[in-house]
Structure 1
Amino acid sequence: MQGRNSDMITFQYEMEGFLLKIDYWVHQLRMHQFDAFPLLKAHFASYPPDAYSLDLFTTHLSEMKVLIREYFPPLREYENEWVISPFNAVVVHNAQMETNLQHQLFGLSVNLRMKAEYSTRTVSQFWVSLKDKYPQLSSQAMRSLMPFPTSYLCELGFSTVKFLKNEYRNRLQNIESDLMLAINSNIQPNIERLVNEK
């Protein structure tokens, strides 16, 4: 669930899948099926499970699900699903947005060239590529993708600083520029805009 191409929507779907697994595990434990827990299955082969142990395991899993749900509230159906399924007619029709954005999304959803392009890129790359043709729609999609769901970039930053300020390069005084470049190496600068602003 980490990496440069992580986004909040995908992360939420993965969390929903994990919560479904917890429900499945609780059900399996109650049915005395331990295939999902190989070490527990091996232990119970030698020492048969008692009701107290099984209750302890199921209670722990249920409480863990409650705690996870506090941090990750359930998804509202169709809220931002259009961002990752812009060519699904049901999703597009049920998207909740301003009328002009809805019309743009309708036009995009039937564009076969864009659909082919979508299949060759990450979700973020696809929406960035539409910033000229569908600026408002692209901007709205990027707002839902932007929040970083993990601490990946922070950890990457610390590792980069450690590399930049190692014993061989310890005389560097100002590493901000090098750090930004190292962390955001997948972001392409808009050279034309930078030149025009000079």
Structure 2
Amino acid sequence: MTGRLSGFTTQVKEVASECESTHYVIHREMLASRKMLPELSNILQDVIKIINNIKVHALNSHLFTQLCEEMDTEHIRLLLYTEVRWLSEGRSLARAFKLREPLQRFLLEKQSPLAAHFSDTEWVIKLVYLCDIFNLLNELSLSLQRGMTTVFKLADKVAAFKAKLELWGRRVNVGIFVMFQTLAEILKETEPGPSFSQLVHDHLSQLSKEIEHYFPTTKDPRSGKEWICNPFVNKPGESTLSVLEEDQLLEIANDGGLKSMFETTSNLHTFWIKVKVEYPEIATKALKSLLPFPTSCLCEAGFSAVTATKMRLRSRLDISHTLQVSLSPITPRWDHPVAGKQAQGSH
């Protein structure tokens, strides 16, 4: 698909040289978060072993559910870790931490050596840190999965997270962990070893480097295109525009009517489409940058809809009409077709 010699992207660029290709943002964010220090990676592998030890056996899973019900826990089931599901890592770790007491009790009854982990304070603290950092990564991932967004908005989100990682690293150096909520609560009662702060700092530094690798500053989609996000604050000489495009941009920047329309328009696409009638060259250049799909959330929504639709009691091959209703943002007016039907009378 993306081969540089004969792939789909190469063939498209042969007939449309201005076309640009990109790897969607959410996947790159997920790849950046996968690399971990060995000490933290071992914690993740231990949790996966514990979860699999219970979930893969129906009897163990049933007995563990009963134990959770007896202990009146908030949750009664563990969540399997699946590498291809982006939010799975954080949610599996968080669920395992919340059920740590029934997990330890269950593993002790089974005489499993894995039960010893929950008695190890250092191991539990590292688990809590992983829960918090992956929860923050999941929040970033969810903020990137929005419809009618642009590469500029997503670049803003990633840049903000980069800055946060640097700030968190400096805070950790002086013993401040308030940005990790669960960890901060645990540390009020437990004093970690001297190497823990250095471990967290090293992981944050590694995560920052990985995000920089997948989102390099030199390839920031916002560079030289600030005028697209707001044409009324453009500074002359900052963007690479032709003479005609620069003249049109200056006319837009000094048009009070367009400025009012920009402030009231819900998204950039709509604004530049309206501007295209009067200023076609500069609007076309802006729309080409706004055109690429920055995320695959629409595809993911379609896959989820198919999964929910195709079941044992609903197995039609043609589901086009069902998908249209499932994915449409318009709420169906069920009262109209229902009004034309006669209700069955009671017997």
TM-score by length of 2: 0.47
Q: Distance in 1 between matches of 2:280 and 2:329?
A: 24
- Asked if the contact 1:8–1:146 (Cα under 8 Å) also holds between the matched residues in 2, the reply is no
Q: Aligned residue for 1:123?
A: 268
Correspondence list, 1:3-152, <5 A = 3-74=146-217, 75=220, 78-90=223-235, 93-121=237-265, 122-152=267-297
Q: Which amino acid aligns with 1:52?
A: S
- Work out which structure has the larger RCO, using CA pairs closer than 8 Å and 6 or more positions apart in sequence: 1
Describe the superposition over 1:36-83 as per-residue Cα deviations: whole angstroms up to 9, x where unpaired.
112221222222233311111111111111111111111377411111
Q: Distance in 2 between matches of 1:49 and 1:76?
A: 42
Describe the superposition over 1:126-183 as per-residue Cα deviations: whole angstroms up to 9, x where unpaired.
112222112221221111112222221211222344567675582527x3x9868976
Q: Please, what is the CA RMSD of the aligned residues?
A: 2.7
Q: Secondary structure at the match of 2:264?
A: coil
- Asked if the contact 1:9–1:80 (Cα under 8 Å) also holds between the matched residues in 2, the reply is no
Give the share of equivalent positions with the same residue, in percent.
Answer: 25
- Asked if the contact 2:155–2:222 (Cα under 8 Å) also holds between the matched residues in 1, the reply is no
Change (3 A) 1:45 1:113: same
Counterpart selection for 2:300 from 124, 136, 155 = 155
Change (3 A) 1:36 1:12: same
Q: For structure 2, list consecutive stretches of 5 or more residues without a partner in the other structure.
A: 1-143, 331-347
Q: For structure 1, list consecutive stretches of 5 or more residues without a partner in the other structure.
A: 187-198
Bigger-Rg structure (1/2): 2
Change (3 A) 1:44 1:114: same
- Asked if the contact 1:78–1:96 (Cα under 8 Å) also holds between the matched residues in 2, the reply is no
Change (3 A) 1:102 1:178: farther
1:172 aligns with 2:291: no
TM-score by length of 1: 0.79
Q: Aligned residue for 2:79?
A: none
